[in-house]
Amino acid sequence: MRVVSLVPSLTEAVAVTGPGLLAGITDWCSHPAGLTVPRIGGTKNPDTAAVVALRPDLVIANEEENRPADLDALRDAGLNVLVTEVRTLDQAFSELERVLTACALPEPDWLRESRAAWAALPPAPVGRPAIVPVWRRPWMVLGRDTFAGDLLARLGVRNVYAGHEERYPRVPPAELNASGAELVVLPDEPYRFTAADGPEAFPGLRAVLVDGRHLTWYGPSLAEAAGVLRAALR
């Protein structure tokens, strides 16, 4: 089977479970290290002609990370496109199963270990109210129905904007600082927040920098994400 992945986390899931299946990946696919697979552009601007030329048996995508127009172009070219939707941890597990089954791969150890790691978490107490920026210029934060938001809720982080009508609302810094939050969680993707770029915008709030792969990726990283994020947010 030949598989093209348009999603970095799914690239890692397939590469770790079925080495040799991947025929094409995006420029943003960074895990596992050392991938020597043809690159076909970004998640938002893939070279659809290059994907078609690779003659994959399956293209795996995500409804949030990839544009409908690109996926339609691949379907119009006769390709089989599997599109995942992941808004919760439970959805992540079920969609990973679906992708691996479509790739004719058995359930891997990392998926069993991921389920066990998250199931073993103690009940999360009601945590401090938090804001979770994902972009700057303009400022955007996690809103409703997001995978990262579900992970944080399981860890006791109460997202101030979890009830917002938008999934990734744009919120001015002044409003963020007046939101009643006591904590700001700053991942290093999609925007790369660092100790020198992000915390200074929220004076008086405890800032926690986290690995975006642990917070936003669904794949082998889930096995360690529960422990790593829990330790960072204590």
Return the pLDDT at 128: 85
Residues 6+ apart with CB under 8 A from 98: 82, 84
CB burial of residue 199 (10 Å; 0-12, 13-18, 19+): middle
134 and 92 together in one domain: no
Return the pLDDT at 127: 77
Residue 43, both tokens: 């998640």
Residue 163, both tokens: 């009830």
Return the pLDDT at 135: 96
Strands 183-187 and 206-210: parallel
Residues 130-160: tens digit of each pLDDT = 999 999 999 999 999 999 999 999 999 999 9
Asked whether residue 114 is domain-assigned, the answer is: no
103 and 135 together in one domain: no
Q: What is the mean pLDDT of residues 76-91?
A: 97
Q: In the structure, what pLDDT confidence band is assigned to residue 56 with cuts at 50, 70 and 90?
A: very high
pTM: 0.91
Residues 102-119: tens digit of each pLDDT = 999 999 999 999 999 999
Asked whether residue 50 is domain-assigned, the answer is: yes
The owner of tokens 């929220």 is: 202
57 and 149 together in one domain: no
83 and 159 together in one domain: no
188 neighbors 194 (Cβ within 8 angstroms): yes
Asked whether residue 165 is domain-assigned, the answer is: yes
